[in-house]
Structure 1
Amino acid sequence: MTTLATIAVTLVALLHLYFLVLEMFFWTKPLGLRTFGNKPEFAEASKVLAANQGLYNGFLAAGLLWGLSQGSAGRSVELFFLSCVLVAGVFGAVTASRKILFVQALPAVIALALVLLTPA
């Protein structure tokens, strides 16, 4: 895998670790409230759902890092998890906020393209 593809996949994984931290630990805090545009009452009522969502983002990050750790043998793992990130990003953009298309789906598309353009 080229260095550029590795960097892109790593950045997508780091983004999802950041989402994990925001959703699991800062959902009801000022940073989480500001990031997601939630009112404190809503954040408090939905914090268990947000933690669950954060955990899923952690699984996406773990899958991407696992793929990276396998070298060229991990290419199919990376492609699978990048595809999962892309689908989640498109679904989130349609159902929650268009911003998710740019924050989650676009980085996944870029990383996916770079991995696919890298000779196997």
Structure 2
Amino acid sequence: MVIAGLVLAGVAAVVHVFIFYLESIGWTGGLARKTFGMTREEAEAQRELAFNQGFYNLFLAVAVVVGIIVYAAGQHAVGATLVFAGAGSMVAASSVLVLSNPSRAAAAAKQGLIPALGVLALAIGLII
């Protein structure tokens, strides 16, 4: 179960690296505008905010990846803590998204379901 949790958290990290790309690099491009339902003008107006938010997503992904590496290196408590912190923050952020704007429930699910499953699997694996 631990391996399943680490794999799911790793997949969540990859998703958050993609979100980083959309928000910090490709924000005004067609894919990001389509994904977030914006016009070019709206994207330009929000560019600075999105750039910052994208890095937040990248740092969560980095915490998870470092946690997986540290766990695999035998430092289980430290590695699991980093995975819980990174993936747990992803889940918390997706919860804030859906609570602040219920019409974004689908986006929140895409952002938060995989890390939630990873946290759950890791926790169960460490308990049993």
TM-score (norm 1): 0.92
Map 1:17-56; keep pairs closer than 5 Å: 17-56=17-56
- Asked if structure 1 preserves the Cα contact closer than 8 Å seen for 2:2 and 2:124, the reply is no
- Give the 3-state SS of the residue equivalent to 1:98 in structure 2: helix
For 1:85 and 1:6, locate their aligned partners in 2 and report how far apart those are by CA, in whole Å. Answer: 14
Number of matched pairs: 120
Q: Cα RMSD over matched residues?
A: 1.4
Once residues 119 and 105 of structure 1 are traced to their aligned partners in structure 2, the CA distance between those partners, rounded to angstroms, is: 21
- 3-state SS, counterpart of residue 83 of structure 2: helix
Is residue 77 from structure 1 mapped to residue 55 from structure 2 by the alignment?
no
Determine the C-alpha separation between the residues in 2 that align with 1:111 and 1:68: 12
Runs ≥4 in structure 1, deviation > 3 angstroms?
none
Tell me the equivalent position of 1:105: 112
- Identical residues among aligned pairs (%): 26
Q: Which moved more, 1:28-37 or 1:92-101?
A: 92-101
Q: Normalising by structure 2, report the TM-score.
A: 0.87
- Asked if the contact 1:90/1:100 (under 8 Å) is kept, the reply is no
Task: Give the structure, 1 or 2, with the largest relative contact order (CA under 8 Å, sep 6 or more).
Answer: 2
